[in-house]
Every structure is written in C-alpha cells, then in structure tokens.
C-alpha cells in the first residue's frame, strides 16, 4: 500500500469527523506467549488501515482542520540498545517524513500532551472495550482534562464509536486493496493446488499443513488464521486445528487455509479425497455443496441484499440432501444439523472483516467493492441418524468473491473445484 492510500483514508475519515471532532486510536499491544517470549507482533487492523505504521507502543490522533497539524503520531523513541535486540525504531524525528504525519512525539509524553489536544474538541471518536490498557489511559487523560483544564463548551461532551465510521470505510475496498486481496488469493490458490497434488494416503494432517507453511513463507506471507486440515470425520469439527491425525485411504480431507500478505487476507477451503478418487457418495455430497456455492456466488451482485446468497445456499443444500435421502423434506429449516454456519463473511485486513451485515432492521445491500467469502458446507457426524454410507462425511468449499458492477469476481479462481477438475489435478 502506498503512503497516498493511507493519507486518503485519513482525509476521508477526517471529513466525516468534522472540525468539532478528534479521533484517537492505538497500536496493538505486544502480547506475552510464555515467560519472556512474545507472540509475533501484528499491528491492529484499524491502526494499520489509517497509518501503515507497523510498530507497537503508538497512538494516532486525527484533528481535522487544526492549523498546526491534523495528523499526529505518538511513537517509540529511537534507542540504540533496544534496536540492537529488536530492530529499527522509526522515532518521532523521522515519523513525519516516513509516515506523512504532521507532527510526532515520544509515546512517553502522551499523558502531558494529549489532554491539551482533547480540550479543544467537543466530540471524541474512539474505540473502547478493545484494549483495556488503552481504555485505562483514556480515562486518565479525561480525568486530567477535567482537573487541569477549565471545562469549556469545547471539552469533549460526546464520545462517539470510531469503529462505526471506520468499519464502514473498510467495508468498501479500493482498487489498491482489491489488488492486495488478489495477491493474497493467488498465493493461497497456488498453495492449495500444490497441497492437493502432493497429498498421499497415510500422510498426517500436519504434513499437509506443512505444505501451506512452506508456500506462504516462501511468498513472505503468513497464515491469516490457524489452518484446518481435517481428515474424515475430523472435518465435522468446524474449528478443528489439532491437525495431528493420519489421513486414511478412502477418506476425504477438508483443508481450510489462507494467507495474509501485506495485511490482506485470503480464506479458502477445498475438500478432496486423500487417494485422489471420490467415491460415489463423496462425489454426490460434494456436488450438493458445490451447487450451493454456485447458487450463492450468483447472488453476489449489486443491489441484492447480503442474506440472499445464504438463503440460496441453504435451499440448494436442503434440495440436495433431500434428493440423496439424507433429510426427509426439502426444507431449509431441516438442515440446521448439517449446515450450521453462515455462508460467508466480509474479508479484508481481517479474515472475518469488519462492517455491518445489517443496516437498521434490514440486511445490507451489496455494493461494488465489498468482498466476502462464500463457504457452504455439509457435515454428517459419524453417529448421525442417516444411512451408514453418509456417516462421517464432511464437505466445505470456500472462495473469496468481490462484488463488482458486473458479475461477481471470484478472487480465488483457478483452483480446481469440480469433482473432475480435482481428480485431474490430483492425478498430476
């Protein structure tokens, strides 16, 4: 993403906030994993979206129309000893030029500076409830404001949820964001194709997972979420991540894996036979899910509402399971035990991206630039009350789709998806 893209986002947000408002937003905290080892740092998505700045211990401030600077950044100071261990710090001296900030200050000075900035604005835009430490600081800044500054008509009287504005912006992907999502999709598709070609009976699930580790890191990407590699009935566990069982000849394997590349995610699932050949039952069930996915994708067009794709997928699954004799009636309410999740979610910087699915009491209308997954599934537990031949089968098919002015754009296209194409890909 270029600096201009981040600057454009800040301008857009500032237009919405107006000259009575001020927005304050923190970087993600560092989280300890065990003893003195931390989890790999990943910047907060909102903070990254507005700044492009990847360091912890930072707070961004937007003050629309402020003559002496609208975009201020508090960040770590340069520190040779710390940098020797942890790598370069930008520092407040270089931050303005590196990040197009109007001014930057040491994070250690925020308690002295921020209350004075808040004083001049009547509306404070902030996200509360996400980081307890930030919430605590915020209360202290407001207390300082009350104690040290004469309360004037301009002191913040109103606290507004910043995420309402910001998450609505994030829902509409720009041209550059769509390009970034396509890059993540491409790496993910290639990894799935490679994994599908290589898998063999008696591999362990983690061996298949390792193909994704290698493919993603080779592209300077990482997993956007813990990958799911479930052989046989393990695939019925929706959030299965143990990935430590043997892949048996004759079973299906469900692989849900997607990378995050330059902060943009992909989220793809394919289900295929470990030995490269679908049985008749596996193929029949697979085709029900595929038909549901196709029916859902078709409905991702401008002007339709968000839930139409889900309704279409459920009806198609209900019809299909009825045709196979798995359920007694072709009734969408009768499949809850087999298809128990939604057909998709928004996708962007977060794999389950932000943005409301409803506006008031109505489902959101789709518009160009919205990006979501389409991921119907059918899961038949090993002890389900169905004919034995269906038991323990689970299928999910997931792709990433952008709503455009024309046809839905499947960003994860090019990855074998029909029974024939998967078998052909697995042959060689």
User: Does 131 contact ligand GLY by CB under 6 A?
Assistant: no
Q: Which of 41, 225, 357, 363 binds ligand GLY (CB under 6 A)?
A: 225
Q: Is 46 a catalytic residue?
A: no
Max CA-CA distance within the chain? 78
| Catalytic residue flag (residue 167) | no
Q: Establish if 172 lies at the interface with ligand GLY (CB under 6 A).
A: no
x-marked contacts with ligand GLY along 236-275 as a string, rule CB under 6 A: --------------------x----------x--------
Nearer Cβ to ligand GLY (59/196) = 196
Query: Catalytic annotation on 398?
Result: yes
Site for Mn ion, residues 172 to 201, rule: CB under 5 A: none
What is the spatial distance between Cα 116 and Cα 106, in angstroms, rounded to a whole number? Answer: 16
Q: Which of 267, 319, 350, 399 binds Mn ion (CB under 5 A)?
A: 267
Q: Which of 176, 277, 304, 345 is catalytic?
A: 345
256 catalytic per annotation: yes
Among ligand GLY, Mn ion, none, partner that 46 touches (CB below 5 to 8 angstroms by kind): none
Q: Determine if 149 is a binding residue for ligand GLY (CB under 6 A).
A: no
Name the binder of 316 from ligand GLY, Mn ion, none, CB < 5-8 A by kind: none
Stretch that binds Mn ion, among 35-43, 100-108, 199-207, 266-274 (CB under 5 A): 266-274
Taking the least distance from each CB to ligand GLY, the nearer of 9 and 417 is 417
Tell me the DSSP string of 279-322: -HHHHHHHHHHHHHHHHHHHT--TTSBTHHHHHHHHHHHHHHHH
256 makes contact with Mn ion (CB under 5 A): yes
Could you give the CA distance from residue 110 to residue 141 in angstroms, rounded to a whole number? 9
| CA–CA distance, 364 with 306 (Å, rounded to integer) | 5
Rule CB under 6 A: is residue 357 a binding residue for ligand GLY?
no
Decide: helix, strand or coil at residue 418: coil
Q: How far is the CB of 75 from ligand GLY (least distance, A)?
A: 33
Binding mask 13-52 for Mn ion (x = CB under 5 A): ----------------------------------------
380-394 as b/e: b if 16+ CB within 10 A: bbeebebeeebbbbb
Give the long-range contacts of residues 144-152, CB within 8 A, separation 24 or more: 144/111, 144/115, 145/115, 145/118, 145/119, 148/115, 149/115, 149/116, 149/119, 152/119
Residue 356: CA atoms inside 13 Å, Cβ hemisphere, count? 13
Give the residue carrying structure tokens 């793809």: 268
Indicate which residues carry an active-site annotation. 36, 239, 256, 267, 341, 345, 352, 375, 379, 396, 398
Q: Which residues bind Mn ion (CB under 5 A)?
A: 256, 267, 373, 398
What is the contact surface with ligand GLY in residues (CB under 6 A)?
A: 225, 256, 267, 345, 375, 398
């Amino acid at each position: 993403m270029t600096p201009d893209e981040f600057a454009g986002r800040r301008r857009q947000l500032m237009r919405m906030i107006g000259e009575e408002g001020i927005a304050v937003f923190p970087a993600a905290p560092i989280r300890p994993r065990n003893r003195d080892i931390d989890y790999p740092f990943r910047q907060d998505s909102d903070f990254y979206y507005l700044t492009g700045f990847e360091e912890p211990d930072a707070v961004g401030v937007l003050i629309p129309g402020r003559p002496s600077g609208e975009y201020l950044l508090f960040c770590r100071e340069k520190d040779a000893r710390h940098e020797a261990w942890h790598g370069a710090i930008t520092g407040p001296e270089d931050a303005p030029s590196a990040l197009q900030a109007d001014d930057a200050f040491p994070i250690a000075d925020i308690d002295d500076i921020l209350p004075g900035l808040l004083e001049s604005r009547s509306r404070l835009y902030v996200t509360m409830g996400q980081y307890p430490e930030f919430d605590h600081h915020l209360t202290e800044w407001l207390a300082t404001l009350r104690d040290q500054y004469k309360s004037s008509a301009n002191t913040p009287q109103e606290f507004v949820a910043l995420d309402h504005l910001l998450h609505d912006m994030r829902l509409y992907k720009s041209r550059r964001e769509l390009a970034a999502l396509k890059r993540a999709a491409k790496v993910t598709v290639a990894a799935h194709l490679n994994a599908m070609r290589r898998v063999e009976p008696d591999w362990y699930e983690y061996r298949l997972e390792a193909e994704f580790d290698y493919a993603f890191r080779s592209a300077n990407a990482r997993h956007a979420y813990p990958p799911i590699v479930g052989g046989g009935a393990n695939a019925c566990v929706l959030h299965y991540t143990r990935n430590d069982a043997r892949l048996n000849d004759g079973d299906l394997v469900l692989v849900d894996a997607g990378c995050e590349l330059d902060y943009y995610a992909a989220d793809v699932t394919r289900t295929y036979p470990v030995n490269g050949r679908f049985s008749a039952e596996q193929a029949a069930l697979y085709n029900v899910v595929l038909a549901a996915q196709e029916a859902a994708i078709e409905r991702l067009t401008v002007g339709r509402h968000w839930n139409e794709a889900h309704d279409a997928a459920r009806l198609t699954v209900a019809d299909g399971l009825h045709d196979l004799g798995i359920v007694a009636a072709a009734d969408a309410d009768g499949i809850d035990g087999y298809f128990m999740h939604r057909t998709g979610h928004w996708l962007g910087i977060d794999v389950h991206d932000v943005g409301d699915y409803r506006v008031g009491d109505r489902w959101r209308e789709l518009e160009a630039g919205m990006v979501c997954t389409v991921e119907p599934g059918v899961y038949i537990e090993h002890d389900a009350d169905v004919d034995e031949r269906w038991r323990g089968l689970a299928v999910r098919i997931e792709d990433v789709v952008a709503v455009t002015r024309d046809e839905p754009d499947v960003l994860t296209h090019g990855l074998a998806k029909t029974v024939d194409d998967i078998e052909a890909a697995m042959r060689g």
